[in-house]
Structure 1
């Protein structure tokens, strides 16, 4: 009997663990989820051609990513994502390899990559850079200070680091051949040029009132240094460029007072051209110049062509110059016409070494124009107009030009102001990549309106107030009948779509007639899987459709009016005749250079400013408030009289030492706020993480039923937030966790964890009566990652509740906190919790691991009430699991299967119409959307269920009955006769 009970208990445990498996069938991968890979805004990009694979674009981005992009499709062939604290400073290709230079902490790392595969060939970490020149006198964020040059003759890689150190590395294995450090703190190098076994480092030396040019010459074999100063006077590094090298001598071109001067490297000879001679006589378009000349390096390897751009009275213009390699004099190759639009330029050369240069500009709101020019012999090779949305992408910022492999056309990679990439070939847009999503600050789910009645799309009873008073009931009835008759043309398509959905059982299939109204078909589907994802990036808002693999519905660029967004709220969901609204919040400098907060109220279905027509005293669509907000918490509390909200503001995001609650006095401009409460943390404590309950969460049960049928009632405080702080005043560092009521600022619970690793981030999440947080512990007996879960109840005693029948934050009762800690196998970048329509399905905690995967753990595993003793019959009745101090590293719990989701910042969830399913969005550098069913899809028929088979079976039974019924009746009659 005992053995039978033990066997039954083991079987019950196995059955329970089956529910915790979150694995995915192979045929579902990529069907219920989609993954968008991004790289960020390119800092360095160039075309790299392979003999057997054609041309690709190699990119180094501001998100510290190296990537190879297929020019035909825009897909990533390979991608290398660096750590956030390792900045890529230089990236350059040569033959079949590419060299990157990055900086991590105080070390520079030079790596060699195989261009077509992205495999790392070698790595060299260079330490103590700048130690001998620890106080450079020249500081400029725009100056590179890092440069890579290939010495083809001796197979070397020359790297300039921090403007003070030059190293020569072996091209094959990366071993250091020699190194030279500048000891003079008044000199900083900016450019390297290699020619005839010499390496020239060109930089600036600080003088009393300006800078002078200094050239360091290195022997490429042993690094022996020779220094030369040129007679010069430069105000800024942007006034100087260095050209040439490799196959011909290099030249320094700089602007000094009213002259452009040229020096051939390794000589003291200086040629100069007066600027006055250029204005109007040599270059006619410069006649109306009214600003400062700007020198632009066209990045043409060893060539000596460059661009001079200047603002004019009517806009801007530019001219192409060339340094004659023999005489060293300046030659004007081409004079661009003066244009009112801002222009970007790029250049390349074709197979015959002919220089090709492009000028790109926005000529209309939806049109970009590209001119392709050969300066010698001054031919316009092509002029194309491209489709380009200024409202969605902003102005053009940068372009990279290339001649295709067959030399029959031109292709160009264009970077727009929002950070996106556009690939143009001749007169068509081949592809574009919305790289601004790599800088997502926040995202929100938006429920789409229900598609029930035609009146929700075309208001059949739309009447002006004057018309409503005069129209007769008969005329209104005739209008309704006419509208219904118009709908009959879609009846056949609807019947076909209905039959198709009925037979296949796929209720996500859109009816055929919806394809005819693509512009007005933004509505939810049968199961509520279709929603809009509203993203706020640094300078724009973007809406994606969850059902169409994340297709962009609308986007809007705000860069001309606002510097940076930091928050977005959905302030109204969809209702009949009223569109959903979102409010985007950002910061901007006013005319007095003061930072103000700006709010934009938008129609969430179109992205346009929302201005209601009914209410003349409406809330403005754009609003400026003269305050600085670092973090905003929209609290679910509203005063019944004035209907004003309580908001909590944090002084300094993630480093504040206090929390404050404010009360908004009025709802029109100017806004007045009154401080309600203030909570200061002890000296040495700073906020590390904050968690708060979702705004629209649903709670299915007010209590937890125990094994003896008694109930522990949940503590459901809508004003509760969880705050984690790190105390650096203590040694070792301690972690403090506060549960705070935001109505009156009181502490409901406080826990301290000693000996916590301050270098690892703290993550915290909250939902219903649950709080979960993750941190690194340095304790000897539990060193590693720890996850702690709280469960809050009104009382420790079952069946006992607070005396007040209505919850109020001003009551004196405090919750009972049941807590438990578990060792966790990974570091965590973000924590999310599944939400369902009614909150009936089991909660699942979603952890964004530092391995770029998403790990799902059922609430039954992270349960603070798991007993640390043998299970009793009541524990078994409650379906508890024995306590295990370590969370198992079960690969079946990885929701993202084999996908690598880079740079995860946050996880948000939203309920579908099915109670079993929660929609999950993971965003950071990449985007990943999926559906998760923590308790399995108990409210949906399985995929192998066939309605067609069921119908055939029913019809077969009916047919069998009809055939056999006369036979049975005849048999009964015959049995009576015989």
Structure 2
């Protein structure tokens, strides 16, 4: 028998619910990585490159960058074979190849020498070298195989020189020079014998030259000479025994010749042979054969030595150019390369050192103009199929990108300027247009058909390799996340980043591709003598209302030099195209940039730029902006943190500058308060404040006992952490008794210290983040030898009286009372500390659109990964045994350490090398925030701290949802049919007791179906128990006693297919009182004329009735006897009984 419909429906619904919940699982599988995130690897600006192009093995170039990265790049594609990112406290000084299979690096001022395996980058050995000073170190690999069996590596640091074996790193010999203050500048190997020339400077004017035996390290000869006007330190070997040195003023050259133990020199002014030179002059390490290169800010000049008589200019490049080192082609000649700008192209020239008029190659190459000028060139040669020599060059551009030029074209390029990001902001994409042209529709239809044909061929495994690549490219193009228009969820945005080179780059959040880039002319080093520095990037204009048709714009602020007192630079760029709309150079410095909440009529956001003299300058410089600012100037306060002077100061603004009263956009400042920490006890380690655009959803917290705690939500709250001077260094530099860390909460308007807590035995580095009414900071506990994270929550006690609902109704509250920072606030502080496993590089907190979603702490660990830690673990109200009410509130039981859940790593198994910053950007969906992490690498992902409660995830199975809907509709249809049948069966099983008045002994209780018939008579009285009058004329069903079941088995079986009630409409039963109204009325339903043969006539009815003359249909009295409410009278009816 089939199960009841109700039970089957519950089972079906339970299965479907379990299937739908399975799709909402939060686990991220390996194949899901990359769907909503991306990861990009970079290396930084190249400062040294060494080629490895032997016939055996892959052709590669090993580079050393300013980001302290060693990497091996494929010469064919630019892909990274392997790389190592070394910590900043261990800077790499130089790199070289040894024996054709080792990469040798010298770091930490010549104290650490390492050898790496060239094919895979594994470290072979490491040698620590004792050096007396931390001066500039040099590395030189001896190339003469006659010296020893393996190549010796010479390490020069301070007054010492060491020879180290390149096979096992064992020090063969070491030599200390006795000249006081000697700093070695150059080392040259003699090609004829085993002599090594070492050139150094003692002090600023004394030149020393040593000749050493490469096998033993013994000094063969030495010579010393004092030069007038001093030396700047740049020395080149022009020939076998002639040196060229730049004097201290960089305006003259010394030509030095050493013979035996004597030194002679000649001083030549640069202006004598170079007519037009300006800016900083540099000697370029170039070539032998008496050729040197002299570079100024505008030209590069090639000079040839004429013995001791002077120098001769052979060639001069007027355009910005760069010259490579000399490259040995054969035993007879060397070549070098010059790359210069010619209009919108760069020109690649290869010359021979012995004959500068002989140009081997001169090619023009088209490049992107937003890359700037050429900074460095590294030349390499290869042998063509016709046995001739070909040349390729690795070119380092001003924006820190690198290009490989070969055969007049750019083979590949890398945007390695993104490895040095200094600031990040997000901008919205343009709104999608409603109208679409007919041509676009036809094109899209064609692409749609083409794509489906290709996908069908791929499914049937009939697609070629090119077609499979086209299918993949089509999927990428058709992906919703890569569109150039904003979406309703707010996931598609532009990440606008500012690099150290002064380049602004816009990245698409969908896949990380570059939308536009612009190397700002005002921040280019080629336009000024000094190296400019980019500072910050801000939102300048977000169009609304009257300026809806304008594009949003951004503001870039920098300095024209590296010094903090250098004049400032301001640039405004279009967010959609990167076009520079406006630029301005300041006559004042930039010490601090303060974005204000005010806007002018064109919706440009107002900014204050504070100079080194503490004067504030308003931008934009418009009358509308000035009027808007003056009306709110009395409410503007700011503070400055001076780490050098160990002080924090607060200021207000006055109407005009003291030194320039004519400048109406300049405002002087008034010192309101200052906190100066004693330098012998505390040093400022870090200061943090709330984000200006942070959204707070609620101002109060309801705790477990239904009490209300009001958050202290002042935007003027700043956090300052100080450490003792002994604990300001690296971990372990101070004893626990000497180390301490003090945390302050300070009001930036009044300078009042709201809270102060001291951690004894703790030291930095300190990392902190401030959000809403809480602060989280990370430090090291020397006593416990573990890292700790502390949390401070601050609450406003002055609003405690507002908890009375009656006072709120009657208006007796202070919710609308004016608040001022000058009144002493009544605050309550709760704090707690927890052990933490990792060291921290950066900290941030998730930001959402409305601030409703739970907060998560984003922690950049020492392993260059990002950990998302729920703020509930950092609740200071956690206790060992929380009450049931506290558990219902969500308070986690207290533990001494914070848990590290592997699934909580936002970066999965990836690493963001040299991680420096984490940025959280709110999406339009309240549940989701966008997280961007930058260092040498870039990483982007979407994060839902409280799950995606307001949207369906990308992994949601829409097919399963459709199947669920179809299954539910089918289940409802089936259950409706079953319900109708069940209702019909229930009607048949209604218990109606019929009592025969005249012959009680014949009521044997047999089972029968009775129907009205005009040929028979029945007893006159029937008693209806359930009172269903309408059903009485339809069916009368008596239950059969179990004892009489056997007696009815002998009845003749009913004919198949016969139903005594087949002609009755049971769904619309006729009313009993209206069915038969008189003696001549017809029945309300069709009754068969004769009963079927299988019917048996009851014996207690047949004797008293005649069959010869059928009587007309009985008259049914429509007026029942009121004395018997449940009784009905019938005149003459016949009952047929069916087994």
Do structure 1's residue 861 and structure 2's residue 830 form an aligned pair? no
Do structure 1's residue 203 and structure 2's residue 199 form an aligned pair? yes
Tell me how far apart the structure 2 counterparts of residues 787 and 240 of structure 1 sit (CA, whole Å): 51
> 1:202, CA displacement in angstroms?
2.5
> 1:36, CA displacement in angstroms?
2.3
Q: Which residue of 2 aligns with 1:467?
A: none
Cα contact 1:347–1:400 (8 A) shared by 2: no
In structure 1, the residue corresponding to 2:906 is in which secondary structure? coil
- Write out per-residue CA displacement over residues 45-90 of structure 1, whole angstroms, 9 at most, x where no aligned residue: 1212344333211112222221112222222221122221122112
- Write out per-residue CA displacement over residues 852-910 of structure 1, whole angstroms, 9 at most, x where no aligned residue: 11111111212112123x23221122121110110123322222122121222221101
Do structure 1's residue 419 and structure 2's residue 400 form an aligned pair? yes
Cα contact 1:342–1:361 (8 A) shared by 2: yes
- Aligned pairs (5 A) from 1:582-621: 582-588=554-560, 595-610=566-581, 621=583
Tell me how far apart the structure 2 counterparts of residues 647 and 386 of structure 1 sit (CA, whole Å): 54
Cα contact 1:145–1:163 (8 A) shared by 2: no
Alpha-carbon spacing, 1:790–1:488, altered in 2? closer, same or farther (3 Å): farther
Q: Which residue of 2 aligns with 1:458?
A: none
- Write out per-residue CA displacement over residues 802-841 of structure 1, whole angstroms, 9 at most, x where no aligned residue: 8342563434333322211100101111111111122222
Alpha-carbon spacing, 1:698–1:100, altered in 2? closer, same or farther (3 Å): same
> 1:672, CA displacement in angstroms?
1.2
TM-score norm. by structure 2 comes to 0.67
- Identify unmatched segments of 5+ residues in structure 1: 1-17, 132-138, 245-249, 280-285, 455-483, 612-620
Q: Which residue of 2 aligns with 1:717?
A: 714
Bigger proportion of residues as strand: 1
Q: Which residue of 1 aligns with 2:782?
A: 778
Q: Which residue of 1 aligns with 2:366?
A: 387
- Identify unmatched segments of 5+ residues in structure 2: 1-21, 456-470, 600-627, 658-662, 728-736, 805-812, 985-1056, 1065-1139
Tell me how far apart the structure 1 counterparts of residues 656 and 542 of structure 2 sit (CA, whole Å): 24
Do structure 1's residue 726 and structure 2's residue 723 form an aligned pair? yes
Cα contact 1:917–1:933 (8 A) shared by 2: yes
Query: What count of residue pairs does the alignment treat as equivalent?
Result: 867
In structure 2, the residue corresponding to 1:31 is in which secondary structure? coil
Tell me how far apart the structure 1 counterparts of residues 975 and 677 of structure 2 sit (CA, whole Å): 88
Cα contact 1:766–1:772 (8 A) shared by 2: yes
Do structure 1's residue 403 and structure 2's residue 403 form an aligned pair? no
Tell me how far apart the structure 1 counterparts of residues 887 and 446 of structure 2 sit (CA, whole Å): 52
Cα contact 1:539–1:564 (8 A) shared by 2: yes
In structure 2, the residue corresponding to 1:871 is in which secondary structure? coil
Alpha-carbon spacing, 1:315–1:295, altered in 2? closer, same or farther (3 Å): closer
Tell me how far apart the structure 2 counterparts of residues 724 and 582 of structure 1 sit (CA, whole Å): 33
Q: Which moved more, 1:544-553 or 1:377-386?
A: 377-386
Q: Which residue of 2 aligns with 1:109?
A: 112
Alpha-carbon spacing, 1:745–1:598, altered in 2? closer, same or farther (3 Å): farther
TM-score norm. by structure 1 comes to 0.78
Q: Which residue of 1 aligns with 2:754?
A: 748
Do structure 1's residue 363 and structure 2's residue 342 form an aligned pair? yes
Do structure 1's residue 794 and structure 2's residue 796 form an aligned pair? yes
Cα contact 2:639–2:748 (8 A) shared by 1: no
- Aligned pairs (5 A) from 1:262-273: none
Tell me how far apart the structure 1 counterparts of residues 245 and 929 of structure 2 sit (CA, whole Å): 62
Cα contact 2:38–2:511 (8 A) shared by 1: no
Alpha-carbon spacing, 1:287–1:216, altered in 2? closer, same or farther (3 Å): closer
Alpha-carbon spacing, 1:371–1:197, altered in 2? closer, same or farther (3 Å): closer
Do structure 1's residue 767 and structure 2's residue 771 form an aligned pair? yes
Cα contact 2:351–2:359 (8 A) shared by 1: yes
In structure 2, the residue corresponding to 1:707 is in which secondary structure? coil
> 1:527, CA displacement in angstroms?
2.0
Tell me how far apart the structure 1 counterparts of residues 277 and 725 of structure 2 sit (CA, whole Å): 56
Do structure 1's residue 252 and structure 2's residue 249 form an aligned pair? no
> 1:435, CA displacement in angstroms?
2.7
- Aligned pairs (5 A) from 1:567-966: 567-575=536-544, 576-588=548-560, 595-610=566-581, 621-624=583-586, 626-629=588-591, 631-632=592-593, 634=595, 642-644=631-633, 646=636, 648-653=638-643, 656-663=646-653, 665=655, 670-675=665-670, 677-684=672-679, 685-728=682-725, 732-757=738-763, 760-779=764-783, 782-795=784-797, 800=803, 803-805=814-816, 808-810=819-821, 811-868=823-880, 870-948=881-959, 950-951=961-962
Tell me how far apart the structure 2 counterparts of residues 191 and 929 of structure 1 sit (CA, whole Å): 45
Tell me how far apart the structure 1 counterparts of residues 702 and 489 of structure 2 sit (CA, whole Å): 30
In structure 2, the residue corresponding to 1:875 is in which secondary structure? helix
> 1:918, CA displacement in angstroms?
0.9
Tell me how far apart the structure 2 counterparts of residues 705 and 551 of structure 1 sit (CA, whole Å): 46
In structure 1, the residue corresponding to 2:885 is in which secondary structure? helix
> 1:97, CA displacement in angstroms?
0.7
Tell me how far apart the structure 1 counterparts of residues 765 and 670 of structure 2 sit (CA, whole Å): 31
Q: Which moved more, 1:564-573 or 1:592-601?
A: 592-601
Q: Which moved more, 1:830-839 or 1:884-893?
A: 884-893
In structure 2, the residue corresponding to 1:717 is in which secondary structure? coil
> 1:125, CA displacement in angstroms?
0.9
- Write out per-residue CA displacement over residues 559-586 of structure 1, whole angstroms, 9 at most, x where no aligned residue: 2367212222223335422322322222
Alpha-carbon spacing, 1:587–1:181, altered in 2? closer, same or farther (3 Å): same
Tell me how far apart the structure 2 counterparts of residues 845 and 963 of structure 1 sit (CA, whole Å): 52
Q: Which moved more, 1:170-179 or 1:226-235?
A: 226-235
Q: Which residue of 2 aligns with 1:554?
A: 517
Cα contact 1:394–1:418 (8 A) shared by 2: yes
Larger Rg: 1 or 2?
Answer: 2
> 1:491, CA displacement in angstroms?
4.8
In structure 1, the residue corresponding to 2:666 is in which secondary structure? coil
- Write out per-residue CA displacement over residues 448-471 of structure 1, whole angstroms, 9 at most, x where no aligned residue: 3433x56xxxxxxxxxxxxxxxxx
Tell me how far apart the structure 2 counterparts of residues 696 and 496 of structure 1 sit (CA, whole Å): 46
Tell me how far apart the structure 1 counterparts of residues 140 and 637 of structure 2 sit (CA, whole Å): 49
Tell me how far apart the structure 2 counterparts of residues 676 and 511 of structure 1 sit (CA, whole Å): 61
> 1:766, CA displacement in angstroms?
1.0
Alpha-carbon spacing, 1:386–1:582, altered in 2? closer, same or farther (3 Å): same
> 1:842, CA displacement in angstroms?
1.3
Q: Which residue of 1 aligns with 2:51?
A: 47
Q: Which residue of 1 aligns with 2:1135?
A: none
- Write out per-residue CA displacement over residues 305-334 of structure 1, whole angstroms, 9 at most, x where no aligned residue: 74344779x9554257799xxxx99999x9
Do structure 1's residue 98 and structure 2's residue 119 form an aligned pair? no
Cα contact 2:205–2:226 (8 A) shared by 1: no
Cα contact 1:23–1:897 (8 A) shared by 2: no
- Write out per-residue CA displacement over residues 396-431 of structure 1, whole angstroms, 9 at most, x where no aligned residue: 111011123546642211112233222222222222
Q: Which residue of 2 aligns with 1:459?
A: none
Do structure 1's residue 165 and structure 2's residue 146 form an aligned pair? no
Alpha-carbon spacing, 1:714–1:111, altered in 2? closer, same or farther (3 Å): same
Do structure 1's residue 120 and structure 2's residue 123 form an aligned pair? yes
Tell me how far apart the structure 2 counterparts of residues 658 and 947 of structure 1 sit (CA, whole Å): 57
Tell me how far apart the structure 1 counterparts of residues 674 and 253 of structure 2 sit (CA, whole Å): 63
Alpha-carbon spacing, 1:756–1:951, altered in 2? closer, same or farther (3 Å): closer
Q: Which residue of 1 aligns with 2:186?
A: 191
Alpha-carbon spacing, 1:296–1:720, altered in 2? closer, same or farther (3 Å): closer
Residue from 210, 215, 224 that aligns with 2:218: 224
In structure 2, the residue corresponding to 1:173 is in which secondary structure? coil
Higher RCO by CA contacts (8 Å cutoff, separation 6 or greater): 1
- Write out per-residue CA displacement over residues 93-143 of structure 1, whole angstroms, 9 at most, x where no aligned residue: 121112111116xx7111111122211111111124349xxxxxxx9xxx7
In structure 1, the residue corresponding to 2:829 is in which secondary structure? strand
Cα contact 2:505–2:517 (8 A) shared by 1: yes
> 1:695, CA displacement in angstroms?
1.9
Cα contact 1:686–1:726 (8 A) shared by 2: yes
> 1:728, CA displacement in angstroms?
3.1
- Aligned pairs (5 A) from 1:227-246: 227-229=221-223, 236=231, 240-242=235-237
Q: Which residue of 2 aligns with 1:461?
A: none
